[in-house]
Amino acid sequence: MASSSSSGLTFKLHPLVIVNISDHYTRVKSQINPLIAPHNTSNGGDAVASSVPPRVYGCVIGVQKGRTVEIFNSFELLYDPSTNSLDRPFLEKKQELYKKVFPHFYILGWYSTGSDAEEPDMLIHKALMDINESPVYLLLNPSINHSQKDLPVSIFESELHVIDGIPQLIFVRSSYTIETVEAERISVDHVAHLKPSDGGSAATQLAAHLTGIHSAIKMLHSRIKVLHHYLLAMQKGDVPCENSLLRQVSSLLRRLPAIESGKFQDDFLMEYNDTLLISYLAMLTNCSSATNELVDKFNTAYDRHSRRGGRTAFM
């Protein structure tokens, strides 16, 4: 596999594709693991099988305008592991159905999951060349790596290289950018704020929420820092002056004084005081509840002591 592509194509990937592949992988993994987990042998064979993550397959669809390829959506496919091939009748049926809903979308390639491209992947890639002469291979790595900052998504193209005097088709990595529309941004934000299926503890949900806010603020700070350095370099004459960029920066900065107006301060203080009042009422309610429980326990203990004293005096 070569390091980078030389085709000059520009790839734009929409987040809906990533969400679809992630959902496909999660459903397949959750269906396989319950079947494997109960069978545990002494030699650990099933345990090893359960540790191997499954691979899922599907097609990516979108449009290509000139040298720009934009991947909008995807759909799942059936894979036959015995022949290392996709179910073609199922693929043609799905293609026909999607063509009715999205007449302007075409099959741009296919997707799979895994840490890297494997040898059987080229067989699937070649089989799809009758649909698209230069298909795209999108690979999503489902393993979690907290130190990785980039998305675990890779896009590959195929190029014909001469290796040891033999022409061979190999995968080459291509760069891409994330392209979103307003509806996708709302959907992704909704998915990001979903709670775990088991509910999770309040501390876990709070930690996840604060982590998301911290990441957003960190990203905002890094982008503002890049913009600040660029403006300083433009002021010193190290980079040429771009009026269009300066107009965009000026438009962005004009939004900031709005938070310093008197109306904003009044509204902010009102919201702040309401929040403090709700917090104080919650604390008073908890204190009252704890006091009532203590009084009830004291009355119960006093009544028991009084009954014991009465029986003793009677005897």
Length of the chain: 315
Largest CA distance in the chain: 113
pLDDT at residue 39 greater than cutoff 60? no
Q: What is the per-residue pLDDT for 61?
A: 92
pTM of the predicted model over 0.75: no
pLDDT at residue 305 greater than cutoff 70? yes
Q: What is the per-residue pLDDT for 41?
A: 44
Angstrom CA distances, 140 to 20, 112, 180, 278, stand at: 11, 6, 19, 45
Are 164 and 174 contacting, i.e. CB atoms less than 8 angstroms apart? Answer: no
Are 13 and 179 contacting, i.e. CB atoms less than 8 angstroms apart? Answer: yes
By CB atoms closer than 10 A (0-12, 13-18, 19+), residue 230 is middle
- Give 155-199 as a DSSP string: EEEEEEEEETTEEEEEEEEE-EEE---HHHHHHHHHHHTPPPTT-
For 162-208, the pLDDT digits (tens) are 778 788 888 888 889 888 877 777 777 766 666 555 555 556 666 77
75: which strand partners? 59
* Stretch 293-297: mean pLDDT: 89
Spatial CA neighbour of 13 closest among 185, 180, 174, 191: 180
Residue 45 banded pLDDT, cuts 50, 70, 90 = very low
* Stretch 8-30: mean pLDDT: 89
pLDDT at residue 53 greater than cutoff 70? yes
Can you say whether the dihedral through the CA atoms of 270, 271, 272, 275 is positive or negative?
positive
Q: Distance between CA 228 and CA 225 in Å, rounded?
A: 5
Q: Which 3 state secondary structure label does DSSP give 254?
A: coil
Q: Distance between CA 49 and CA 31 in Å, rounded?
A: 14
Q: Which 3 state secondary structure label does DSSP give 276?
A: helix
- Within 13 Å of residue 176, how many CA atoms lie on the same side as its CB? 25
3-7, 16-20, 97-101: which has the minimum mean pLDDT? 3-7
Q: Which 3 state secondary structure label does DSSP give 24?
A: helix
- Mean pLDDT across the chain: 80
For 63-75, the pLDDT digits (tens) are 988 889 999 999 9
Residue 79 banded pLDDT, cuts 50, 70, 90 = confident
Phi and psi based region of residue 43 (left: phi greater than 0; alpha: psi -120 to 50; beta: remaining): alpha
Ordered by where they begin, the domains of the chain are 10-32+52-178 (3.40.140.10), 195-255 (no CATH)
Q: What is the per-residue pLDDT for 161?
A: 80
The residue with tokens 């809903």 is: 101
Q: What is the per-residue pLDDT for 5?
A: 64
161: which strand partners? 168
The residue with tokens 């650990």 is: 44
